[in-house]
Structure 1
Amino acid sequence: MCLGVPMQIMEGDDMSALCARGEETRRVSLLLLGPQEPGTQVLVHIDTAIRVLDAEEARLIEDALCGLEAALRGENFESHFADLIDREPQLPEHLR
């Protein structure tokens, strides 16, 4: 299974950027997005930035990834999905 992860751009040029997520850093391609400012949150998939994220969306994705890790360890994971508690999941507009 492949997952996209939110990462923050630390520095970069027209073609690539050094990005960080927690303690991990890696150089990712910016060819799909173009140059981005340091501090920008991007969704990274297979070492390629595929989309710019706003802070809230980056947080929700990070929470979901932490929830997945907790579930795999057999720990309580529900608190990581607070945005889904007490409501049914909604399909994106283009799938309705």
Structure 2
Amino acid sequence: MCLGIPARVVESGEHFARCASRNGELRVDLSLVGIQSPGAWLLVFLGAAREVIADERAAAINAALDALDAAQSGATDFSAFFADLDREPQLPEFLRSQTS
């Protein structure tokens, strides 16, 4: 299984960036996203940036990865990791008209 890991750019060159992530410092290939400014968040798979992401998305992904770590440690309450899901589910717009 390949998981995308958020990494924050510390220093960027033309082809590679030095980034900080939950797994420590990484050398990240920028071929797919181009040169990035320090502070930018990247979604990294196998050492290559696939997407530039917003701070909020990086935080949500890191929370989900924390939940995986907690599950591996035997935790059973995951509500703290998914605060964005603390709401009533909504049907997509195209299905709402079919249920009325």
CA distance in 1, matches of 2:18, 2:78: 31
2:52 paired with 1:52: yes
Q: Deviations over 1:13-49 (max 9, x none)?
A: 1100011014600101000011000110000000000
**Following the alignment from structure 2 to structure 1, what is the Cα–Cα distance between the partners of residues 61 and 91?**
16
* Runs of 4+ residues over 6 Å off in structure 1: none
* Distance across 1 between alignment mates of 2:27 and 2:91: 34
Q: Which has the larger radius of gyration?
A: 2
Secondary structure of the corresponding residue to residue 71 of structure 1: helix
Q: Encode CA deviations 1:48-95: one digit per residue, 9 max, x unaligned.
A: 00100111111111111101110111123221011113333888xxxx
SS in 2 for 1:68: helix
Normalization by structure 2: what TM-score?
Answer: 0.82
Structure 2: unaligned runs, 5 residues or longer? 93-100
Q: Give the TM-score taking structure 1 as reference length.
A: 0.85
Aligned counterparts of 2:90 and 2:30: Cα–Cα separation in 1: 32
In structure 1, stretches of 5+ residues that fail to align are 92-96
Equivalenced residue count is: 91
| Worse overlay, 5-14 or 74-83 | 74-83
- The aligned counterpart of 1:21 is 21
- Conserved in 2, the CA contact under 8 Å of 1:7 and 1:20? yes
Partners of 1:80 and 1:56 in 2: CA distance: 13
